[in-house]
Structure 1
Amino acid sequence: MAIEVSESIEARLREVEDKLAIYELIASHPPSADTGHAQYTAQVYKEEGIFNRGVGLDGATGAKAIADFILRPAHREAIQGGLAHFTGLPLVNLQGDRAIVTSYLQLIQHDKTGKPREMANHGVSTGYRIHRVVVNRWELERIAGQWKISARTLLPVDGSKAPLELLNAGLTEILARNRIE
């Protein structure tokens, strides 16, 4: 994969800085969701942001509504039950002041009914179970120098076409941007 380097050092540095800022934004989701930090969530979404969880699960529109999502009693119950969001390294496609990010997310829950097992030097645990694995598509915009989420779609990895299409779109966009054949 040969990519021609014709951009200036400043442009390349800006791309690195943008990607680091985006990685930080995406990496902040699990701690903010797992602590119910609604104020943080409201700050990282655009005012008219969209949160789409696919068929069968409700979503929200607007930064306040999305932030309120994690204040629900059911979400608090999930947190108290040992909820942990675990994300994979995102694939970032920068497009000037816009970016498309594709990633995986696992929802992991403490298994309170599991058989206790001991691990050397780590104590006894009943373990954890993966509740769901989803594909995320984050659509971001740079606003006043900050990356904000304009839309987020997450679909369960369940063998259906839709999550595979999100993954494929992320790869296709990277290929097109880098002109990789």
Structure 2
Amino acid sequence: MTDENQPTVEQRLQMIEDTLAIYELIASHPPSADTGLAEYTAAVYMEDGVFNRGEGLDGAKGVEAIAAFILRQAHEEAIKGGLAHFAGLPLIDLRGDKAIVTSYLQLLQLDKQGEMREMANHGSSTGYRIHRVVVNRWELERYAGHWKIRSRTLLPVDGTDAPRQLLTRGLSDILKAAR
């Protein structure tokens, strides 16, 4: 690549700032879901956002419907039962004022039926179990100077082709950009 094709210092700084803002946005999902803070969810989705949980689980369209997801009684029961969302480090594909993020998310649940075990200096616990692992594809847009979620698709890692294809799309997009 020649010098004229290199990004300027300002452009590189903007890419760093965007990457950090996107990390923060994706990292905010677990605490917002595990506290049921619908106002936060509403603040980070686009007005006409889409939440797609794949086949077999309902989704939502529009920021109000998406925010209402974590206000459901069933979600509150899951929180009270020891729900914890645990996110992996996201893969970010910046595209100017848009970005594609690919990530993993584990849903952990307090194992109330597990055997009580003690860990030195950490007390006793019945432990946790991994309820589900999902693959996420987040489509983001910069709106009024902030990154927001246009759509989120999450698919369970269940041995089918769909989650693998979603991961492959994320890697393929990064590979194309690198060439």
Into which bin does the TM-score normalised by the smaller protein fall? over 0.9
Aligned to 1:61: 61
C-alpha distance in structure 2 between counterparts of 1:178 and 1:144, whole Å: 28
Alignment of 1:17-28 (within 5 A): 17-28=17-28
For residues 121 and 136 of structure 1, what CA distance do their matches in structure 2 show? 35
Unaligned runs of 5+ in 2: none
Cα displacement string for residues 88-143 of structure 1 (whole angstroms, at most 9, x for unaligned residues): 00000000000000000000000011000011111100000000000000000001
1:178 has 2:178 as partner = yes
2:138 & 2:91 partners in 1: Cα distance? 10
Aligned CA RMSD, in angstroms, stands at: 1.2
TM-score by length of 2: 0.97
**Match of residue 14 from structure 2:** 14
Q: How far does residue 6 in structure 1 lie from its aligned partner after superposition?
A: 1.1
Provide, for residues 129-177 of structure 1, a one-character-per-residue CA deviation record: whole Å limited to 9, x for no partner: 0000000000000011110000000000001000000100000000111
Letter of the aligned partner of 1:144 in structure 2?
Answer: A
Other-structure match for 1:120: 120
Secondary structure at the counterpart of residue 58 of structure 2: coil
Cα distance between partner residues in 2 of 1:173 and 1:95: 10
Number of matched residues? Answer: 177
Where 2:78 maps in the other structure, the secondary structure is: helix
TM alignment of 1:120-139, pairs within 5 A: 120-139=120-139
Instruction: Specify the code of the residue in structure 2 equivalent to 1:118.
Output: E
> What amino acid does structure 2 have at the position aligned with 1:114?
G
For 2:102 and 2:160, how far apart are their aligned partners in 1? 17
Aligned residues with identical type, % of pairs: 71
After TM superposition, the runs of 4+ consecutive aligned structure 1 residues lying more than 6 A away are: none
Distance 2:152 2:7 in 1: 30
- CA–CA distance in structure 1, aligned partners of residues 121 and 75 of structure 2: 32
Question: One-letter code of the match for 1:121?
Answer: N
List alignment gaps of at least 5 residues for structure 1.
Answer: none
1:109 alignment partner, SS class: strand
Q: Residue 114 of structure 1 aligns to a residue in which SS?
A: coil
Partner of 2:95: 95
Shift of 1:82: 0.3
Give 1:20 deviation, angstroms.
0.2
Could you say which residue in structure 2 is the equivalent of 1:30? 30
**TM-score, length of structure 1 as denominator length:** 0.96
